[in-house]
Amino acid sequence: MTHYFISIKKFVDEPYSKILGYPKSTSSQIKARISELEKLKIKSIALTGPTTLGKIAILGKGYVGVVVLAKKGTKEVALKIRRTDSQRKEMKSEAVLLKLVNSVNVGPKIIDVSKNFLVMEYLEGIKISEWVNSLKGPGSTKKLKSTIRKILEDCYRLDQIGFDHGELSNISKHVIVGKTKSTLIDFESSSINRRPSNVTSITQALFIGSGIAKKSQRMYRNPSKDQIISILRQYKEEKSRESFEKLLKILRV
């Protein structure tokens, strides 16, 4: 898809300045942030995506920041902009967490970071709930199973390094599916200081009581809730590859 990019110099004025200094900022803050972007070699931003700030389209919005499509040189990137009301004083701690998940090939690749910005690989895709609802025709069940398996494998790798995503029970906002890759996104609530429950959270979100669970149940016969909870208990205790493989077998992925 071709996107229309606007020079960051134009973001000094409303309505664009609202994005750089959401939810409220001064003109000097905006100018400082534009200088910061120039140092990161971010030249322009495209106002596109499934979320809106006022009437402006963006890729996403969270407690820490808003995410937009930007250009670093000629490369399209995802740019996370720290909110002015965020409890986080900088973006570097999130960058450390993203580097850690990248070390086990999970998440969008980190490209650069500064005090107020995190520059990441841009992965074009849609929310998993939308993707599941769009599935139809021959090969749909195979696609669903392979995507679920890929997401579970990512979560298993995070469990193995003691990393907890923290928001995978709300799966729709945190998993995107693209043409070439499905991935976990948004690690702003992540931690290495609490017990990881990535596989457990994502399995419950995918198979127990969600719209995604109902759709997949129509596509192929899922195990019962009791079976899933029983095998998850075992996995939770052991977190071994063997107990993970048993889970995959029960889930038929």
Give the DSSP letter string of 44-86. EEE--SSEEETTEEESEE-SSEEEEEEEETTEEEEEEEE-TT-
| Side-chain-facing half-sphere of 246: CA atoms under 13 Å | 16
DSSP-assigned states of every residue in 218-231: HHS-PPPHHHHHHH
- pLDDT given for residue 213 in this prediction: 85
- pLDDT given for residue 7 in this prediction: 97
Candidate CATH numbers 3.30.200, 3.30.70, 3.20.14, 3.10.450; the one for domain 5-121: 3.30.200
- Rg over alpha carbons for the chain, rounded to the nearest Å, is 19
- pLDDT given for residue 143 in this prediction: 93
**Residues 193, 23, 10, 91, Cα dihedral to 10°:** -10
Question: What is the pTM (predicted TM-score) of this model?
Answer: 0.91
Per-residue pLDDT of the chain (253 residues; tens, 9 = 90+): 678 999 999 999 999 999 999 999 999 999 999 999 999 999 999 999 999 998 999 999 999 999 999 999 999 999 999 999 999 999 999 999 999 999 999 999 999 999 999 999 999 899 999 999 899 888 899 999 999 999 999 999 999 999 999 999 888 889 999 887 899 999 988 999 999 999 999 999 999 877 888 888 888 888 889 999 999 999 999 999 999 999 999 999 9
